[in-house]
Amino acid sequence: MLFYSDICKLIFAFILPPLGVFLETGCGADLLINICLTILGWIPGIIHAMYVFRQTMFAESDN
């Protein structure tokens, strides 16, 4: 189930992928990977941000 905060994170992940990843996972390896991918190209950053968001959604639904 998506909440308002999740929708905001998705919007941030589309506009500025590292911000969306930071809001979802905090400062860690995922953020560093996303920053590098976003520097290489905006689309790879978006794809990775959506992947991270989806993985955390599945992890929350398993609990």
- pLDDT per residue over 17-42, tens digit each? 999 999 999 999 999 999 999 999 99
CB 18 within 8 A of CB 38: yes
Amino acid residing at 60: E
CB 17 within 8 A of CB 43: no
Predicted TM-score (pTM) of this structure: 0.85
Give pLDDT, residue 63: 67
Residue 44 above 70 pLDDT? yes
Q: Report the C-alpha gap between 12 and 4 in whole angstroms.
A: 12
Residue 15 above 90 pLDDT? yes
CB 21 within 8 A of CB 52: yes
Angle at CA of residue 36, ends 11 and 34, nearest 5°: 35
Q: Report the C-alpha gap between 1 and 10 in whole angstroms.
A: 13
